[in-house]
Structure 1
Amino acid sequence: MLKKSVYLLLLGILIVLVACDDNVNDDDEVADEEANTEETSTDQTEKEDEVEVEPPVTEEKDDNRTEDEENKEEETVQEITEPLYQIDDNWNVVPLEEGTNENVVLLTIDDAPDENALEMAQTLNQFDVPAIFFVNGHFLQSDEKKEVLKQIHDMGFAVGNHTYNHTRLSDVDEDTQKQEILELNELIEEIIGEKPKFFRAPNGVNTDYAIQLVEEEGMLLMNWTYGYDWEADYQNKEALADIMVNTELLSNGANLLMHDREWTADALEDIVKGLRDKGYEFADPMTLQVPE
């Protein structure tokens, strides 16, 4: 009986010890899980702290531009907003205000786009020289020639009206004069998206009616001070380049007339370089005062 009681006592103690051990293990597992959760949260917080927040992207001013480029940009804005020159009664380019550079010449090219206008525009564009291309409607009957005019305009050159059929205005009635001018205006606008701002009559022959109509259309009437490329003696590169640069008619504000011709296209680079060597700059047609 005594042995049985001792045996039951030892069995009870053993059961208590096993139960305590299980509780300890359970507590340790809970503690471990809580510790792991805390470590994971800490790691995530640390990683979030390590992520760099990039500043918002802002447009930076191009500091690589030279002072001359910045000044040129400012001058361009001024040229667009207000005119700098006018055409006087002798067809010269004259400053509107004292202090504006008067040592300039204006380049104009008639009878475009025949066969050489695009080449001439590319030459002028290469040397950053502005000009007016006065066009005729009979050269704009094909899609190819319309595309040529569009390319010339897209290069930044001014486009002028030289009548639809290169008609001498003094030889036709007023209705025909109106048709010659207005129909070409409409065609030019259809091609380049804007009406021309300049008008030059074929052979420089204007009529009272044409002058009034041009003003009503808000175009600047244009003629020239000198030109030579239609004369037989100057229908070659060397002779034409020489006379255009060295003529006694060259002066401040000269309004130079040239044409869409092979020999003129050949001489154009030498003409530009020669005028620059003499100290002349080239007036931008967009700075000319036009009728309102």
Structure 2
Amino acid sequence: MQKDQLFTRRRMLLSGAAALGAAGTAGAVLAEVGEETPRTAAAPAAGPQARQALKPSSFRLQPLTGYGPPRAAPRKLKVREEPILQISGRGRRMVLTFDDGPHPDYTPHILDTLARYDVRAMFFVCGECVADNRELLARMADAGHVVGNHTWTHPLLTTLRRKEIRSEMERTSDVIQDAYGERPQWFRAPYGAWNRATFQLGAEMGMEPLAWTVDTTDWMEPGTRTIIDQVENGAAPGVVVLSHDAGGDRSQTVRAIREWLPYLLDSGYHLTVPRRRV
């Protein structure tokens, strides 16, 4: 299935299933996040004029490096009963995540914007998209972004048998390792629809389940301004932001991040990624 064909089904499914993935902020919390270097100078005041004049942030994260032999057996994790919804820790930390890619028309532009401001993000990719765009995962690895598993064909997992769910997850982990250099340590269920099997299988494969706390609603293509407002109004310490770089026309997402990303940095937020397990 081509990813662009998912958009109609997403409209029908996501409104109901998203509540399972982001049902408030009372759920599990990610305790450890990536290291960062503080800004070397005070940020200019926030506001439309300040945003236009921003220079790339001095904020840094150390790039990730590969580990272990190919196809190394993953370390099994404790089975969770709900996905992680937010991060904890000191300061104004947030995590940016992008689902459904990579896509040759949109992902490179998002990577360009992240590189301009030297920010790392998480990309939850679909295996069928990786198979056609391996070079984009290599670029993510080189830039220090974290790549997570978002299944092979983006199905509604709660309608599948256990062996089908395993196949969706395992095939995707395999192609990610081939293209990115290591197996994913994070999993996100399509449509935010989780069940016991997804938590159990993810733990067996060494992946933690990550949901989100702020939905940009870019999957509905609501307009660039609406996407910007969703991020800027939802920004808060510990937030995990959901965006998409495939699965439909993501030109609004590409335009929106060029405005809301410098706004967040200008407002003093540290955009981080989870700490790697070793």
TM-score range, shorter chain: 0.5 to 0.7
Task: Check if 1:241 corresponds to 2:259.
Answer: no
CA–CA distance in 2 between the matches of 1:154 and 1:90?
26
- The change in CA–CA distance for 1:76 and 1:148 in structure 2 (over 3 A counts) is closer
Q: Deviations over 1:140-196 (max 9, x none)?
A: 333xx1112211221211111000000111010000000000111011111122101
User: How far off its partner does 1:122 sit?
Assistant: 1.4
* Structure showing the higher helix proportion among its residues: 1
Q: Which has the higher contact order (CA 8 A, sep 6+)?
A: 2
Supply the distance in 2 between the matched residues of 1:210 and 1:239 (Cα, whole angstroms).
32
2:100 alignment partner, one of 105, 111, 117: 111
Residue in structure 1 matched with residue 168 of structure 2 by the alignment: 180
Q: 2:111 and 2:217 mapped to 1: Cα distance?
A: 17
SS at match of 1:112: coil
In structure 2, give the amino acid aligned to 1:104. Answer: R
Q: Percent identity?
A: 28
Whether the 8 Å contact between 1:229 and 1:259 is mirrored in structure 2 is no
**1:124 match: secondary structure:** helix
* Residue deviations 1:245-267 (CA, integer Å, cap 9, x gap): 023xx321000000012110111
- Secondary structure at 1:238's aligned position in 2? helix
Does the 8 A contact of 1:109 with 1:257 survive in 2? yes
8 Å Cα contact 1:93/1:253 also seen in 2: yes
**Structure 2 residue ranges without an equivalent (≥5):** 1-38, 41-58, 67-79
The aligned counterpart of 2:128 is: 138
Query: Would you say 1:222 and 2:210 are equivalent positions?
Result: yes
Tell me the distance in 1 between the aligned counterparts of 2:219 and 2:198. Answer: 27
Partner SS, residue 159 of structure 1: strand
How big is the alpha-carbon RMSD for the aligned residues of Structure 1 and Structure 2?
2.9
Q: In the TM superposition, what is the alpha-carbon distance from 1:230 to its structure 2 partner?
A: 3.6
> Number of matched residues?
203
When residues 189 and 76 of structure 1 are mapped into structure 2, their CA distance, relative to the original with a 3 A threshold, is closer
Cα distance in 1 for residues equivalent to 2:110 and 2:87 = 22
> What is the TM-score of this pair, normalised by structure 1?
0.63
SS of equivalent to 1:187: helix
| TM-score normalised per structure 2 | 0.66
1:271 paired to 2:260: yes
After TM superposition, list the pairs within 5 Å mapping 1:9-24 onto structure 2. Answer: none
